[in-house]
């Protein structure tokens, strides 16, 4: 079942179709992001984690979502510009997606099925919900919006120390 994660089609911000296959063997921190949210400053913490651990195998993957009070209303190009100019983001930020409802992206269907969250509801509650995926493609942990990126450093270190 893990291999299915790597086959899910995703779209880069420039419109190119791809999959998560290029991240096989790496620890992934997958986050639904937004530019006009009270948690938007977490971009800085996500970038700090990426810079600190990317050489050891961490990749942060941002998926913009406009489902929470329309806090990501821009197009893919403006989102990229916002992330770069305001937070110096160098980790991949993909095309905008839905994370809940009938149009939820298959990636989020997979993540929510693997780690349903509070009371098994499966719903993403807000922007900046985080999923940690180990080197083998297993969804290791679901982390709530309010948890700052620095607070999950020990979890990341543990997954990075594990063999692929």
Q: Is 65 a catalytic residue?
A: no
Mapped onto helix, strand or coil, the DSSP state of residue 140 is strand
In a domain, 15, yes or no: yes
Is the residue at 84 inside a domain? Answer: yes
The contacts of residue 107 (CB under 8 Å, 6+ apart) are 5, 8, 10, 20, 30, 63, 97
Q: What is the pLDDT of residue 2?
A: 42
- Buried b / exposed e over 70-99, threshold 16 CB at 10 Å, is ebbebebeebbebbeeebebebbbbbbbbb
Q: Are 63 and 94 in contact (CB under 8 A)?
A: yes
Range of the domain at 9: 2-159
This prediction has a pTM of: 0.92
**What's the CATH code of the domain at 25?**
3.40.30.10
Q: Could you tell me if residue 164 is inside a domain?
A: no
- pLDDT by 10s per residue, the chain, length 164: 344 899 999 999 999 999 999 999 999 999 999 888 777 888 899 999 999 999 999 999 999 998 887 777 788 888 888 778 888 889 999 999 999 999 999 999 999 998 887 666 778 888 999 999 999 999 999 999 999 999 999 999 999 998 65
Number of domains in the chain: 1
Closest by CA position to 94, among listed 113, 85, 107: 107
Catalytic annotation, pick one of 37, 93, 104, 152: 37
């Amino acid at each position: 079942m893990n291999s299915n994660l790597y086959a899910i089609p995703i779209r880069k911000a420039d419109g190119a179709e791809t999959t998560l296959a290029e991240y096989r063997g790496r620890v992934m921190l997958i986050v639904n992001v937004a530019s006009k949210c009270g948690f938007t400053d977490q971009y800085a913490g996500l970038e700090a984690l990426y810079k600190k651990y990317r050489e050891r195998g961490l990749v942060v993957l941002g998926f913009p979502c406009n489902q929470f009070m329309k806090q990501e209303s821009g197009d893919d190009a403006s989102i990229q510009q916002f992330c770069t100019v305001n937070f110096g983001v160098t980790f991949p930020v993909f095309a905008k997606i839905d994370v809940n409802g009938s149009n939820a992206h298959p990636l989020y269907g997979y993540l929510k099925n693997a780690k349903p969250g509070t009371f098994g509801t499966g719903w993403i509650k807000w922007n900046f919900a985080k999923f940690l995926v180990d080197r083998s493609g297993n969804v290791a942990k679901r982390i709530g919006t309010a948890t700052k990126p620095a607070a999950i450093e020990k979890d990341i270190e543990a997954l990075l120390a594990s063999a692929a």
